[in-house]
Amino acid sequence: MLALTASLVSAPAAAAAPGTPYLPEPTGPHRVGTTSLHLTDSSRPDPWVPAAKTRQLMVSLWYPTAARAGRRAPYVTPRESELLLKGSGIKELENVPPKALSRTRTNALTDAEPSGRRRSLPLVVLSPGFTWPRSSLTGLAEDLASRGYVVAGIDHTYENFATTFPDGRVATCAACAHVNDDDFGRKVIRSRAVDIPFVLDQLTGPHPKWKGGALIDPARIAMAGQSIGGAAAPETMARDARIRAGINLDGSLFLPIPETGLARPFLLMGAPSGDSTWKRDWEHLTGWKRWLVVKGALHPSFTDYDMLLQQLGADLGGGLKETRSLDLTRQYVAAFFDLHLRGKPQPLLDKPSPRYPEVRFCAPPAKNC
């Protein structure tokens, strides 16, 4: 239970008002648009609510746009903020106003027209941690989109505290009632390894559900996830050869990587607390691989939450202050995808950098990892 729930614009934008949480501006050359899709997989019932005869998912897309003005996308609704903060059960959040996260200032423009040439944009799928929504990775998604990627963030319905559908219905965490079941972590991973290929089909198939689908290059698709979302990456890659590279951000590998190995590029990036499953499965990553440990990071440091909660006056005890946690995540994730989806050399991934002294390069049996 504890291991899983811990996963608990015109240019340039004006600074957020004092006391308003904000996401730092993206670092790439493109402006960013965003939209949401409601997708229904009628081939299967929902794994957590069998009475639901179809699996319904909400997906956010972030992408490059030439638009210079428009309405900024909301981060979460007031109700989602309330359910998320209350559901976390973290003592340090008791004094944070329930609707505080809904005030977060984002950088993407709602429903802006996507820009790019046909089949020119790589696609990255983001899978969030258990109990946390797709919005938890917005800061990373906006940055990748500003660098010329299409990013699809998935709400795995009933696995987080709140998913809001277009009709106003809010699905809460039905899966939370099963966290003590045998094989629970593996069930979550296997479910996500079905959700994600379905979303890829909807985005890159012959009749894309998104109007910008023709811009996606189906030969350049990758995945990243935080916590159990990252743990789901190897299983999803094993099931779907379209995913060329994967990243696990601080997720325990509840489902071991098969001994036959995963030969596609993979990045492990996490907090210093260590994870025995990474040591167990390291040798089963048989392609390009890196294992990075970030000094001062906590589990939420690989999402927006470490940074946003500091802005709201809640200190979770980490050593990465202000926007540093998101800065580090953005730089190393983007370097990995630029290397493996665009073929651009990335010295940042070859050795420690004086610009990012918090990041250590590890491999068993290194004792400091």
Per-residue pLDDT tens for 317-366? 999 999 999 999 999 999 999 999 999 999 999 999 999 999 999 976 55
Give the whole-angstrom CA distance, residue 271 versus residue 274: 7
Residue type, 143: D
* Single pTM value for the model: 0.94
Beta bridge partners of 34: 62, 110
pLDDT for position 9: 35
pLDDT for position 286: 97
Give me the half-sphere count of Cα atoms (radius 13 Å) on the Cβ side of residue 212: 27
The tokens for 12 are: 């340039």
Over residues 227-283, the pLDDT tens digits come to: 999 999 999 999 999 999 999 999 999 999 999 999 999 999 999 987 899 999 999
Confidence band (pLDDT; 50, 70, 90) for 1? Answer: very low
What DSSP character marks residue 152?
A: E
100-108: average pLDDT = 98
Contact 307, 330 (CB under 8 A): no
Instruction: Give whole-number Cα distances, 155 to 66, 134, 196, 246, 344, in Å.
Output: 27, 5, 10, 18, 31
Over residues 288-324, the pLDDT tens digits come to: 999 999 999 999 999 999 999 999 999 899 999 999 9
Contact 54, 41 (CB under 8 A): yes
216: nearest Cα among 229, 194, 230, 201: 201
Q: What percent of the chain has pLDDT over 90?
A: 89
pLDDT at position 205 over 50 = yes
Q: What is the mean pLDDT of the chain?
A: 93
Confidence band (pLDDT; 50, 70, 90) for 5? Answer: very low
Instruction: Let me know if 144 is exposed, middle or buried by CB neighbors in 10 A (0-12, 13-18, 19+).
Output: buried
- Does the structural domain 2-7+21-362 have CATH classification 3.40.50.1820? yes
53: nearest Cα among 38, 42, 65, 39: 42
Contact 203, 209 (CB under 8 A): yes
pLDDT for position 17: 52
Cα torsion at 187, 193, 196, 201 (round to 10°)?
A: -130
Over residues 152-192, the pLDDT tens digits come to: 999 999 999 999 999 999 999 999 999 999 999 999 999 99
pLDDT for position 89: 84
